Copies of this chain bind each other. A is one copy, B any other.
Amino acid sequence: MEKAVFDARYEVYRQAVEEYLNGQFTEQTDWSDLYDSMRYSLLAGGKRIRPVLTLEFARIAGAGEDWRSALPAACALELVHTYSLIHDDLPCMDDDDLRRGKPTNHKVYGETMAVLAGDALQPAAYERILTAPGISEGGRLECALLLARASGPDGMVAGQVLDTLHAPKTGDELHQVHRLKTSAMISAACAMGCAAFGAGPELRTAAEEYAQQIGIAFQIRDDMLDVIGDEATFGKPIGSDKEEGKVTFADLLGIEGCEQAVRECTEKAVAAIAPYDADGFLTFFAERLASRMK
């Protein structure tokens, strides 16, 4: 696949996601301030990696050009991802004032509203999956369950607990945190595209391997970029500003080791999905994630 073709399809997916999200929580109600707070974070941009994966896997699994039928499921992932960002930024969590260059939700709407906006995004996500008109009853049920498992007490929230309250120190602990906190939701994104359109077991297995590998690569690249970004921008030595006692892949593997690991994971991801990735979109997607600069 050529870069221009990849970019064009990614952009079509991304715009479909933006349009869908932009159509949510627009009614006039007596609690429109809640809607405003939800929309503020939901429409704050981002690469929309998870929903794009769902849409591409829906296409492959059988939706074809009808991939828009998977939008409610794809965007439900983004609702849940957004709630997790709002709550992660709270003073009692990471206490961040900025996200993607904009004030965090609680800085704009206050802590009370930020907690409630996050709380409301979760059921809103399930409602959208469960009423998706273009997905079969069984498909909706499976998508909702995939989301619940990925984001629950044995998925994303467990990862957040380990990351925030346990401070991982070894490579194994770090892998566990990111498997739960990041890869689980990326796996759900791929699996939901498959489930929504009744993919067979071989595609599902390939999607799972692909998702696991790009999930690890994504996180290692993230840790690398923290260091590279710091060095480029501030000229700080590697790891000088990392939080006390918090270990990253950059600490454990070094920058070259990280590059190597990202390359290996990406190769495994690409190999796993090759039989289904006829036009190369998912290969390009994995390589783009592996080489991204932000």
Contacts and interface: CB of A to CB of B under 8 A. Distances in A.
A87 B90 CA distance: 13
Contacts of A140: 141
Residues of A in contact with B, size category: 35 or more
A65 B141 CA distance: 27
8 contacts: A29-B154, A31-B161, A84-B119, A87-B119, A92-B111, A116-B164, A124-B152, A131-B145
Nearest to A35: B153
Stoichiometry, copies per complex: 2
Contacts of A149: 123, 127
A256 interface: no
Interface string A128-145: 001100000110110011
A145 B127 CA distance: 6
B130 A161 contact: no
B165 A113 contact: yes
A116 B160 contact: yes
A108 interface: no
A122 interface: yes
Contacts of A34: 153, 157-158, 161
A148 B161 contact: no
Interface of A: 25, 29-31, 33-35, 38, 83-84, 87, 90, 92-93, 110-113, 115-116, 118-124, 126-127, 130-131, 137-138, 140-141, 144-145, 147-149, 151-155, 157-158, 160-162, 164-166, 176
A123 B111 contact: no
A4 to B, nearest CB: 39
A194 to B, nearest CB: 17
A115 B35 CA distance: 21
Given A87-B119, A140-B141, A127 B152 contact: yes
A148 B119 contact: no
